[in-house]
A and B are shown apart, each in its own frame.
Chain A
Amino acid sequence: MKEKKRFLLLLGLVLLHLLLISVQVPRGDEPTYFERALFSIFGPVEHGVVSFFRGLKGAWQGYFYLRDVQQQNQSLRDEAFELRQENLALRNLLLGFQGSRDIQSLLSTVSRSILVATVIGIDSSQVYKSIRLNKGAKDGVRRDMVVLDRQGRLVGRVVEPITRGESRVQLISDEDSGVGVVTRRFRVVGVLQGDAEGRCRLKYIVKTNKDVQVDEEVLTSGLDGIYPSGLPVGRIMSIGEDGDLFKVIVVVPHFDISDLDQVAVFTADLRGLS
């Protein structure tokens, strides 16, 4: 191929990319069909790789490396016993506030709506932006469903693209994410936004507000119309000031991306239950 033709090919490819970028502008965060197609082709590749390694790990831990299994088993039995007692006590406590039928229906809705998913991939360009799950449309996953970690702490929400077997989750540490939050002690309301480095900023708290303190717990407020209220989000790490009207508040999210192996997707709308 002659040199001129090679440069023409490069020019064509560059124009193709510029076209792909500009096509997205009117679509906002809605992915193009091309992006969806690539996602649906390479999502299963990741799914397969993770399943393979999970299988290897499972075989190793299930058949060969059985050290301390007896001890772990006993500790899990103890934990399950304690959780059952706690569950029973909380159910009885709830009955004091609401009728028995309401409580039963609420609890059965909550337990039916939990979908356990495995994390099959981390965002390929910015680590703290998104993750991908091995559950998709065929499992009932829809846009804006809430995702929590093993301890029930907020991780993010489901966003497009959602294929049959895979889906994408926008993390709360993403710079484009916004979560309505409230501080636990003085119920100060703000908006939590990611800082692209794994931490978040609590925004729109005016400098004159003295009720926000370091080490305070931050919970979802439910005011954003996506997340139900009362979910643990993070802890205030530092409070500073700049030339602006508002405080600079750094929040460390509770979830740890290195420990995100399995997550819980809430397939029901929990906003009405909170």
Chain B
Amino acid sequence: MKRIIEGASGLVLAVVLHTVLGKVSPPLLVLFNAFSWVVLFFGLTRHEVFGALMGTACGLVQDSLSLGIFGVGGLTKTLLGFGAGYISRKINVTPAGRTFVFVIVLAAVELALWKLLVLFLFGERFAEGGGLVLLQPLATALMVTAAFQVRRRREARRA
């Protein structure tokens, strides 16, 4: 039950962050993807099953708030959540530097996969915001690493 509440809170937080960013400045949405932050965070902390489920939920909510093809975001984010959880169980990504590199690689792969699906399968172009979208993995890595390290230190202090 606790996990369901955590997941639901994460999902609502992603929608709230997305709305606030869109209100502050719409082009910021090209750079910051709050849905990816939430999926990666839960993938790293709760591993692959929860990561994949959060990916499905966040991806489908993101798709429902978009005029694009429903299901593409869900598919890429499911793979992202599962990948984050599965790999982080196999290799140690706990130190901040490793978390950062790991997240940047995963975020870049997810972005590339989404772009490939949108471009080649559905023939749609992609808002790149003058190259700003290429910095999206970097922004995602910064946000997720910060959140992950804060959580890790808080847990260490409790222990």
Contacts and interface: CB of A to CB of B under 8 A. Distances in A.
Interface of A: 1, 6, 9-10, 13-14, 16-18, 20-21, 24, 29, 31-32, 34-35, 38-39, 42, 45-46, 49-50, 53, 120-130, 132, 159, 168, 170, 174-176, 195-198, 257-258
B64 to A, nearest CB: 4
Contact of A121 (B27, B55, B65, B124): B65
Given A35-B70, A123-B66, A126-B68, 17 more contacts: A1-B49, A6-B82, A17-B72, A17-B78, A21-B75, A32-B70, A45-B16, A50-B23, A121-B65, A123-B65, A123-B67, A124-B18, A125-B68, A127-B127, A175-B124, A196-B126, A258-B26
A129 B67 contact: yes
Given A159-B67, A168-B67, A53 B49 contact: no
A159 B68 CA distance: 12
Contacts of A9: 49, 52
A120 B52 contact: no
A38 B129 CA distance: 27
Contact of A20 (B35, B67, B70, B125): B70
Contacts of B18: 121, 124
Interface in B53-89: 53, 55-56, 59-75, 78-79, 82, 86
B20 interface: yes
A125 B72 CA distance: 10
Nearest to B17: A49
A18 B48 CA distance: 20
A197 B27 CA distance: 10
Contacts of A132: 65
Contacts of B15: 42, 45-46, 49
B25 interface: yes
B63 A258 contact: no
B29 A124 contact: yes
Pairs A-B, 3 closest by C-beta atoms: A38-B64, A20-B71, A17-B75
A10 B61 CA distance: 18
Contacts of A6: 48-49, 82, 86
Contacts of A39: 64-65
B127 A124 contact: no
Interface of B: 12, 15-16, 18-20, 22-23, 25-27, 29-30, 35, 48-49, 52-53, 55-56, 59-75, 78-79, 82, 86, 124-129
A125 B129 contact: no
Given A122-B22, A124-B62, A14 B67 contact: no
B88 to A, nearest CB: 14
Nearest to B55: A13
B29 A127 contact: yes
Contacts of B128: 197
Contacts of A130: 66-67
Contact of A10 (B19, B60, B70, B78): B78
Contacts of B124: 175-176, 196
Contacts of B63: 35, 38, 124-125
B19 A121 contact: yes
